Structure 1
Amino acid sequence: MAEQAIAEVLMHYGAEYVPEGYKWAPMKCPFHDDRSASASVSTERGAFKCHACEAHGDTFSIVQWKEGCDFVGAVEILTGILGAEHKALSKGNARKPRRRVFDAAGANAGQHSILSIGLRRKFNAGS
């Protein structure tokens, strides 16, 4: 479902053609006046990258960047672009909970603080 979503979002923002496939395929960027293919898209991965204007990301981050909104706002906008299909998108793009590096007792098992492995910060003499 992500491959259809990235293609539809790019078409919504002005792409004339979105090549399909797992490998990165060249295309013209819809976010700037592009005379040659300066962008790449992998529709099966659901990812886009322009090498000229630096626009990049998955379906949600492209909408966030273009519309200037947060993740929740992007989901609402995608509902308008894709219809009810946005619920299927969350399966592939679900945000995983962040792993906690340190708990209340200190470093988690098997992990070391940067001070314990010798990567201490060097301070300037004037500080």
Structure 2
Amino acid sequence: MAEQAIADVLAHYGADCVPEGYKWAPMKCPFHDDRSASASVSTERGSFKCHACEAHGDTYSLVMWKEGCDFAGAVEILTGILGTEHPAVSKGNARKPRRRVFDAEGANAGQHSIFSAGLRRRFDAGA
């Protein structure tokens, strides 16, 4: 699905032909007036990089870069481009919550703060 998504996003923004494959293939960048192939795309990886205008990333990054929106806005725009919800944001693929480094009483077992260990350097105004 990633290869189809990146190809559809690039085509939506004006790419004439998106080369397919795992390796990086040269193409004209759809984000600026490009006379030669200054961009590279890997459709199986779902990644794009223009070496002239610095547009790069996956489907979400490209939409955020082009539209100037946040991730939630990119999801809405991408849903409109693809016609369906992208599998990376479907409800079945929810991310795991991040591990908490500190609990309510301080550092977890085995984890110490540099501040509590006295390793913090103090600024000496007189030196």
Q: TM-score when scaled to structure 1?
A: 0.75
1:15 corresponding residue in structure 2 = 15
CA RMSD of aligned residues (A): 2.8
Q: How far apart, CA to CA, are the structure 1 residues paired with 2:109 and 2:80? A: 46
8 A Cα contact 1:50 1:56, kept in partner: yes
Instruction: Name the SS of the counterpart of 1:40 in structure 2.
Output: strand
**What code does the residue aligned with 2:36 have?**
S
Deviation at 1:73, TM superposition (A): 1.4
**What code does the residue aligned with 1:88 have?**
P
1:50 corresponding residue in structure 2 = 50
Q: Is 1:88–2:87 an aligned residue pair?
A: yes
Structure 2 spans left out of the alignment, 5+ residues: none
2:59 corresponding residue in structure 1 = 59
Q: TM-score when scaled to structure 2?
A: 0.75
Query: CA separation of 1:9/1:95 partners in 2, compared to 1, >3 Å: closer, same or farther?
Result: farther
Deviations 1:60-110 (A, max 9, x none): 1111111111222111111221101x242436x965544433333444455
Structure 1 spans left out of the alignment, 5+ residues: none
Deviations 1:18-40 (A, max 9, x none): 11111222111111111222111
Q: How do 1:1-127 and structure 2 match up within 5 A?
A: 1-84=1-84, 86-90=85-89, 97-113=97-113, 123=123, 125=125
Runs of 4+ in 1 over 2 A off after TM superposition: 86-91, 93-116, 120-127
Query: After alignment, is 94-103 or 8-17 more displaced?
Result: 94-103
